[in-house]
């Protein structure tokens, strides 16, 4: 009997490309390479100062804007553009942005350090980093999430590119990222056990997305559609900051206790502009 055909097809990177660079100090150089599609990803180990981690975690759990959602992710503050209209996303952002800023604006803010470091690097290349906007309204600066879901994945396998083609968001500048690379930025401020980052060596094509009925969401890819592809499983500890190409299918595996991250998406939308959103 021949095996069932794979449900997912697309681009697979060379083995030399399919790895995460590890560093012990923040360096915007490899981040720019991720943005340019020259590198899969990079993880900076233990670069968030202890005090900033503790203060971010305290403000997250005590925030009146923290929401609980069954499934994944379990607790979060912020808004996300996934699977809705631009207008809905921006209205929701307007309601919560000040609470998000409250969690981000801690002394030695990792969000601020990352962005100022990357901005300086981009400036050397004549480019800027800014929050995405639409008709005078700004996207959310970050989404703060805590996963505590049991099961094989705390966050099911998905990719971040399909959601940038939602017709309800036509005209929103983030859709320009599809001509470049969509990059996921994560900053881990709380971690107990498990919750590894998993990345599969597959960038699904549109036909595969259509077949799975996830053309504009990229969520989710059943585990059996991914068997046979190489995968990375990366231990993530509190204090780590990591950036990777979100067009490759990725997930967070089983997590025990809280795993709390500050995150956003970013990408070039033209040669001189990197925008971020959530």
Point out which residues bind Fe ion (CB under 5 A): 160
- Please, are residues 139 and 133 in contact by the beta-carbon 8 Å criterion? yes
Nearer to Fe ion, 106 or 185 (CB): 185
CA distance 142 to 156: 20
Containing 212, the helix (H) or strand (E) segment is helix 206-212
CB of 160 vs Fe ion, minimal distance in Å:
4
Q: Which residues contact 137 (CB under 8 A, 6 or more apart)?
A: 90, 93, 94
Cite the DSSP H helix spans in 63-108.
86-104
CB of 243 vs Fe ion, minimal distance in Å:
12
Nearer to Fe ion, 30 or 73 (CB): 73
CB of 271 vs Fe ion, minimal distance in Å:
25
Nearer to Fe ion, 160 or 181 (CB): 160
CB of 250 vs Fe ion, minimal distance in Å:
6
Nearer to Fe ion, 72 or 190 (CB): 72
CB of 65 vs Fe ion, minimal distance in Å:
22
Residue 164 half-sphere exposure toward CB, CA atoms < 13 A = 27
CA distance 254 to 85: 31
Nearer to Fe ion, 59 or 216 (CB): 216
- The first and second tokens of residue 250, run together, are 């990725």
Q: Which of 262, 259, 268 is nearest to 72 (CA)?
A: 259
Which residue in the shown chain puts its C-beta closest to Fe ion? Answer: 160
């Amino acid at each position: 009997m021949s095996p069932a055909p794979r449900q997912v097809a697309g681009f697979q990177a060379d083995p030399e490309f399919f790895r995460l660079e590890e560093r012990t100090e923040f360096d915007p150089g490899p981040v720019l390479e991720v943005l340019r599609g020259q590198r899969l990803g990079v993880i900076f180990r233990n670069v968030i100062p202890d005090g900033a981690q503790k203060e971010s975690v305290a403000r997250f759990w005590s925030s009146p804007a923290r929401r609980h959602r069954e499934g994944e992710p379990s607790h979060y503050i912020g808004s996300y553009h996934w699977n809705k209209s631009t207008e809905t996303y921006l209205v929701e952002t307007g309601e919560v942005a000040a609470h998000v800023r409250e969690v981000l604006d801690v002394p030695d803010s990792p969000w601020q350090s990352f962005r100022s470091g990357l901005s300086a690097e981009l400036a050397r290349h004549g480019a800027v980093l800014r929050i995405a906007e639409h008709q005078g309204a700004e996207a959310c600066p970050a989404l703060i999430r805590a996963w505590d879901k049991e099961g094989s994945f705390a966050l099911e396998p998905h990719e971040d590119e399909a959601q940038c083609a939602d017709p309800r968001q036509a005209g929103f500048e983030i859709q320009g990222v599809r001509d470049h690379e969509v990059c996921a930025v994560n900053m881990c401020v709380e971690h107990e056990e498990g919750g590894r980052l998993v990345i599969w060596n597959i960038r699904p094509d549109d036909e595969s997305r259509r077949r799975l009925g996830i053309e504009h969401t990229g969520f989710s890819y059943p585990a059996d559609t991914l068997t046979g592809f190489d995968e990375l499983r990366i231990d993530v500890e509190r204090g780590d900051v990591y950036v990777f190409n979100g067009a490759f299918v990725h997930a967070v595996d089983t997590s025990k206790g809280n795993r709390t991250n500050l995150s956003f998406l970013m990408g070039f939308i033209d040669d001189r502009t990197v925008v971020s959103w959530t």
